[in-house]
Amino acid sequence: IGSGTGLLESLLSRLLDDSYDICGVEVSPKVNKYLPEQDMFFVGGTWDLCPQAGKSHVWIFTYPREPKLIVQYLELHDHASLSKIIWLGPKMDWQDYEGVLTSSKFSRLTVLEDCGAAAYEMVVVAERKANEL
């Protein structure tokens, strides 16, 4: 969610086997350079939600602009099939998103170290609490 050029999704597709269906969500179709068109979904703005996200097992939020977007996705979808939320963004923004995730069913947080992110970036994996599995 927030796929931009689709580079991250394209790289993930190459690393994972065919049982994974990697799709991107973006506002403008003009920025996509790497993902096939059939693997992209477009929304009306940075505030808009992608209905297909409800079918996903993992959401990756890449540099989301607003913490409320994650809240809205969690409220819209019952997320019965959702197992993880991955947040990728600037370290300085993390505190705005941490509270959203810790107050959700996905409050088990793991900060990935030495994962290839730039020094100013963070990657956090949010999983369901043990009693929510």
pLDDT tens-digit readout, 60-113: 999 999 999 999 999 987 667 899 999 999 999 999 999 999 999 999 999 999
Residue 117 has pLDDT above 90, yes or no: yes
Give CA–CA dist 92/22, Å, rounded: 28
Encoding tokens for residue 85? 């939320």
Question: What is the pLDDT at residue 112?
Answer: 97
Mean pLDDT of 110-129: 95
Question: What is the pLDDT at residue 129?
Answer: 78
Question: What is the pLDDT at residue 132?
Answer: 62
Question: What is the pLDDT at residue 78?
Answer: 66
- Yes or no: say if 87 and 100 are a contact pair by the CB < 8 Å rule: no
Give CA–CA dist 94/67, Å, rounded: 10
Number of domains composing the chain: 1
Q: Do the domain assignments include residue 2?
A: no
Residue found under tokens 């050029």: 5
Chain Cα centroid distance, residue 40? 14
Q: Do the domain assignments include residue 89?
A: yes
> Taking the model in full, what pTM does it have?
0.90
Q: Do the domain assignments include residue 1?
A: no
Q: Do the domain assignments include residue 101?
A: yes
Beta strands in the chain (DSSP E): 24-26, 40-42, 58-62, 84-90, 108-111, 121-127
Question: What is the pLDDT at residue 18?
Answer: 86
CATH of the domain at 68: 3.40.50
Give CA–CA dist 35/103, Å, rounded: 33
Give CA–CA dist 11/14, Å, rounded: 5
Question: What is the pLDDT at residue 19?
Answer: 86
Q: Which domain holds residue 46?
A: 7-132
- Yes or no: say if 1 and 59 are a contact pair by the CB < 8 Å rule: yes
